[in-house]
Amino acid sequence: MTNPKIYDTHFNANEWIVLVAGVIGMVAVLSLPKRFPKKLSIVYFLCGMTFGSGFDLTLGAIPVSFYDVNDRAKVEMMDLMSIWVYGSVSYMFVYVYDILQLNPKWVPFYILVWAVISVGIEWIGAQIGVYHYDNGYGFEISFEIYLAVHTIWVAFFHFMQAVNERTS
C-alpha cells in the first residue's frame, strides 16, 4: 500500500472555487423558472452526480489513478462537494436543451458546445488545483469523455421525458 499523494494542505483557491461553484449552481437550479416535474428535476440533477462519482471515484481511479480531485488522493469533503457541482451542470444541460427544442441535426453541435465549455471549466479547475492529472491523462481525453457523457445525457433526457409522458 502506498501513501496517498498530497498536493496541498491549505484551504485555498481550489476549495473556494468548488464552494462558489456549488452555491452558484444551486442558486441557479432553484431560481430558474420551473420546466420539469419535481421528480424529473431531481433525477436530472442526480444524473450528473452519478456520472461524476462514477468517473471520479471508480473509472478514473482504478486500476490506475488518472486524476485526483482537490488536495489529496483520498476522499475529502470538498470532493463530495465537487460531485454536487456536477449535479447543477447536468440539470443546466437538460434545462437549456429543453428550452432550445433543437432540430435533431443541431443536437451534435449542442453536445460539442457543452463539451468545449466543460473542458474550459475543467482547464480552469486544473489551473487552480481542483484536478491533478496523472498517468498520461489530460484535457484531450476529457473532451472525448464529455462528448460521450453529454450524448448519453441527451438520450437519457428523451427517455425520461417519454417515460414521464407515458405514466402521467
Partner 1 sequence: MQVPICSLIAWLTIALFSFIPKKLTIIQFVFLYCVTLILTTTAYTIFDANLQIVTIPRNTTSSVSTIISRLITVPLLIMAIINALQTKRFTLSRIMALVLWMVLSGFDWLLNQIHVIAYHDWNVCYASMNYLAFIAIAWSFMRWFKKFDEGTV
Residues of this chain that bind partner 1 (CB under 8 A): 1, 4, 30, 34-43, 46-47, 49-50, 53-54, 57-59, 61-64, 73-75, 80, 83, 160, 163-164, 167
Whether the Cβ atoms of residue 160 and residue 94 lie closer than 8 Å to each other = no
For CA atoms 114, 58, 25, 8, the dihedral sign is negative
Smallest gap from Cβ 117 to partner 1, in A, equals: 23
Smallest gap from Cβ 46 to partner 1, in A, equals: 4
Nearer Cβ to partner 1, position 9 or 103? 9
Smallest gap from Cβ 108 to partner 1, in A, equals: 25
Nearer Cβ to partner 1, position 80 or 107? 80
State the burial class of residue 68 (Cβ atoms within 10 Å of its Cβ: 0-12, 13-18, 19+). Answer: buried
Half-sphere exposure of 22 (CA within 13 A, CB side): 15
Q: What cell was used for 29?
A: 437550479
Nearer Cβ to partner 1, position 17 or 47? 47
